[in-house]
Structure 1
Amino acid sequence: MRAAVLFEAKTPLQIEEVSVATPRAHEVLIRTAAVGVCRSDLHFVDGAYPHPVPTIPGHEAAGVVEAVGSEVTTLRAGDHVVTCLSVYCGSCEFCVTGRLYLCLGAGTRRGKAVAPRLMLGDKPVAQMLNLSAFAEQMLVHEHACVAIDRDMPLDRAALIGCAVTTGAGAVFHCCDLSPGETVAVVGCGGIGLAAVNAARIAGASRIIAIDPVPEKRILAEHLGATHSVDALSDTAADEVVELTRGGVHHAIEAVGRPQSAATAVKVLRRGGTATILGMMPLKEQVGLSAMDLLAGKKLQGGLMGGNRFPVDIPRLVDFYLRGLLDLDSIIGERLPLERINHAFDELRRGDATRSVVVFA
């Protein structure tokens, strides 16, 4: 199969022929239909987060099941599926207490005594985030994907695998937003736009989008933001506080920069909560001041939106099919695998919304 392979951080991906193994117990072979190009991939490509190489990035994907291994009970050939990097074992403390997104996936990867899932010639290819989706096929554990309604267009379904699950999950799970509360979303890429859309679905009274790119702010307003603020303005946080008469109940950071996290804290009202979704540089820290603590402000992480993806993803698909979730507007361009490096360049520029790699 053709795949985009990363041989060394900070170098372009190369299109190579990679062999994929036959599914073993609990494994599923998927014909990839579409993959969103996520900033999380860029962190690995640019070396901000380490990963063994060679590897195939890509984790926000949808496709069709081609074959299943023994003991697979939830899927069959022909199923349309969305993948998710939150692969879960089903039996650890986190799984049995309903926090699947915190599971470390014990037993869902092949052991050293077993042939690797992916090979480049005679060399193993490290599977990134349990998926490696920038390839014509994916071989994954059955707990890394879920079947969806076949009426769902797969190029839009791919976005649900990460951006929408994370952004919407932050609203529905991490924030537990009540109708009438106020929300600020810092960063209007794929995740931030999904959070804006979800906040509208959840009944937020005011939704304020904060981003430096005018086109993204316009798109955020199309998706449900009641107001938008230029993130580059020295008075951005003050504008949000004034618009909401004291600050927002919930601030969602969807960029991965210390400055945007600081903004999320600044725009909170007393007792408000800031949820950090972005992948920040590993050495960075985010905190609350003594005055923030006295004001009852709270700061939390929101790994993958606190998802329970086998339940959440089919529900998000239903939201789209019923016209509640707008995924069409989030996609900025569709491109073939051969243009993957162009898609990463667009991410580095920061002007694009979501690029989607589509396979014929």
Structure 2
Amino acid sequence: VFLPAISEYIPEEMTKCLSSFLDFCYLARRNDFTTDTITELQNALHSFCEYRKIFLRTKVRAHLSIPRMHSILHYPYLIINFGAPNGVCSSITESRHITAVKKPWRRSNRYNALSQMLLTNQRLDKLTMLRARLVEHGLMPPLQAPAPDPFETDKDDEGAVDADRLLAKVELAKTRARHYPRKLEDLAGYVNQPLLPELTRRFLFGQLSGEVADSIDIDLCPEIHAKINVYHSAIAMFYAPSDNAGIHGMHRERIRCTPSWYGHPRRDTVAVIIDEDEPGFRGMSAARALLFFSFTYKDSEYPCVLVHWYNTYRRSRDNRTSMWTVRP
């Protein structure tokens, strides 16, 4: 969202610099690396170092001697030798410096402070260990609530999933929405989608026969008389190693499609896999979810989603942002 929003207001080289830096960040956040990933990381780093000179030419900055920016130059080498950073933040050393150096220094008398600081840290560590033991045995309350389980999938709208790796999986919400018509024809009128019955019948024909039903005579498609269940959300689980993911790189997000979300309709946009053999977005298409529903046909349940498709603009990524552009 950030990059396309500013791309028209800054020089092209700045946009490319930010795009390269974002690519580098997403690659560096992965839990596992291959030779190809390291190559992509090095290419993104090279592009970033090349395009960042625009900030000097436009006098946005007088220099680029920034310690944290310099540290990324060592990422490929360090990853090869020591493994994935696994989400390590460069602020960790700074925050630790406060507790291990600054605060003990202030507690000292400033004369031969090193020995006093070491003794202070030693005593604090012992007190921390003692408190942990007492809390473990129920003799003291914890200082703070325990950290949430990153694999708890019932509370948050997104997070890590400790599941086996697969390309993608979508599950409808556990509870159906109320006050919707239960017949398909009535539901079509209720949501103002007159083609819903025909599209659903063609979908069912394709599921039963394994053929594309776009050009099939509608009379050949099975009729649906079962009750329709409507849902306001679904859970998508997909492989996303650069996001907050489980041990196998699986991530989850909730897709919402509801007529009222804090007083306004919400129809989320999703990426749909079209061709599993094509890499990245070349094998995908963007769509907007309009209705989640399901029905039963011959003792089998069929989850469905009515979507509005977006068309890909151009045959390749945008030259400025390195992102794909879609439009209705």
Q: TM (normalized to structure 1)? A: 0.18
Bigger share in helix: 2
Q: Which has the higher contact order (CA 8 A, sep 6+)?
A: 1
Bigger share in strand: 1
Q: TM (normalized to structure 2)? A: 0.19
Question: Which one has the largest radius of gyration?
Answer: 2
